[in-house]
Amino acid sequence: MKLLIRQGRLVDPVGGIGGVLDILIEDGKVAVIGSDIREPSARVIDASGLTVCAGLVDMHVHLREPGFEYKETIASGARAAAAGGFTAVACMPNTRPTIDTPEGVSFVKERAALAGGAQVWPIAAVSKGQRGQEVNDYEALKAAGAVALSDDGVPVQNANLLRDAMILAHRQGLTVLSHCEDADMVQNFAVNEGRVSRQLRIPGRPAIAEELQVMRDAMLAEETGAALHICHISTAKSVAIVRRFKRKGVAITCETCPQYFTFTEDEVLRQGALARVNPPLRTPADVDGILEGLKDGTIDAIATDHAPHSAEEKARPLTEAPSGMIGLETALAASLTALYHPGAMSLSDILRRMTVTPACILRMPGKGRLAIGSDADLVIFDPDEAWTVDPERFLSQARNTPFAGKQLKGKVKYTILGGEIIYKEEA
């Protein structure tokens, strides 16, 4: 099937193709980019007034299957991703069972192939059962299709194991993705340690719990030479540590999520458990540090940490509810609203962090790119259209978003994967 996207404004953070152009897609690939392409046999999408770029890549989601299908399934998550403009998501292995075997990786891939949504790239666990005691067989996991390694959800506390893991991951050419929080310091606490935890008279998760492990992991990356990626960075000091190690030439990258540059810890006072997330929402100074890190390139990627929970779970009291928020269907708009519309960052710089850079960190060459010959994975969106977030309209099974009822700017119109339309906005 041929598809002709007409008159869209192309944004390409890498190759610099820009302006209002047509794109002809043939056999799942971008065949021609040019002005006024004529191809009578093609299905036409009128993209005038809209922006076209490479499909978004989310390097950090939780799809909950196997084991927690009441929260989300691979199918519902993949379709929610498509609705958010994502053509690929990398899913964390903290399921039941943990994804720590080639069979587990294959299971995720098989489910994803049936979903009819975004591609799903499995991340395998660093340690067996995410217990932090024994490394997995990374060679076999990679051969089965794992794109990276992480114990996100149950962060590695054992520095010796992490060191071994990095050496072995480096040999296999796999990046280790690290959720940095010291378990003893954060326990199961619900909020940032600070003004809000004091006001609520509950213990909090201190910033230093994150920063200590960012420092520890960065030093291990320096020593082992392994590629390290810090997940959902949330404090100004964490950003500063990553900046320092990058300057030294250490192979370290990091991501943040829209919640960390949109909200402060005060959101917990307004929204309770809906604003509970690990690491927690922090202070205004931390939000400033995150924005600075995004602007100067210290923060490489914007991910969602999409973490679905049931309504019943999130209705529990703040200290008993599970942590996490969904983000696939709001990430683009939330990023444009917080970063692009106020003039803090260009569209191209934002999209780079949501397409090509996460694909590179996950070693998926050619993905996240819009160029002649590349896979026809695209998103078409209106960066200026305002809409009010209504979780009842989400394709995700879950509703736990702190953006509910908020007005955001930026609306996905079409998501195209390998030349097939996997999402089209309802008229």
- Using alpha carbons, list the distances in angstroms from residue 193 to 166, 190, 320: 31, 9, 17
- The count of residues interacting with Zn ion (CB under 5 A) is 2
CA-nearest of 141, 135, 217 to 173 is 141
Closest separation in Å from C-beta 133 to Zn ion? 20
- Locus of tokens 């299957």: 65
Cis status, amide bond into 203, omega within 30 of 0: no
CB of 278 vs Zn ion, minimal distance in Å: 6
User: Known catalytic residue: 305?
Assistant: yes
Question: Is 300 a residue that touches Zn ion (CB under 5 A)?
Answer: no
Cβ atoms of 45 and 414 closer than 8 Å: yes
Q: Choose the stretch contacting Zn ion; rule: CB under 5 A; options: 48-56, 179-187, 316-324, 362-370.
A: 179-187
Bridge partners of 349, per DSSP, are none
Q: How far is the CB of 127 from Zn ion (least distance, A)?
A: 15
In whole angstroms, what is the distance from residue 231 CA to residue 241 CA?
14
Please report how the helices 207-224 and 236-247 are oriented relative to each other, as an axis angle in degrees rounded to 10.
Answer: 10
Write out the two tokens for 143: 């051969």
Closest to Zn ion by CB, 277 or 354: 277
Query: What single string gives the DSSP state of each residue in 276-308?
Result: --SSPP--HHHHHHHHHHHHHTSS-EE---B--
**Tokens matching residue 218:** 């960065």
Applying CB under 5 A, among 179, 314, 353, 413 the residue interacting with Zn ion is 179
**Cβ proximity to Zn ion, 152 vs 210, nearer residue:** 152
- Helix and strand counts by DSSP (H, E) for the chain: 15, 18
CB nearer to Zn ion: pick between 80 and 180 = 180
Residue nearer to Zn ion on the CB measure, 304 or 330: 304
- Report the site for Zn ion in 117-176 (rule: CB under 5 A): 152
For Zn ion, the closer CB: 9 or 306: 306
User: Least distance to Zn ion from the beta carbon of 305, Å?
Assistant: 6
**Which one, 24 or 186, has the nearer CB to Zn ion?**
186
Cα 377–Cα 60–Cα 333 angle in degrees, nearest 5: 65
Shortest distance (Å) from residue 221 CB to Zn ion: 18
Rg of the chain, C-alpha, whole Å = 20
The residue at minimum Cβ distance from Zn ion is 179
Catalytic residue among 12, 182, 300, 305: 305
Supply the minimum distance, in Å, between the C-beta of residue 129 and Zn ion: 17
Residues that bind Zn ion (CB under 5 A): 152, 179
Active-site amino acid positions: 305
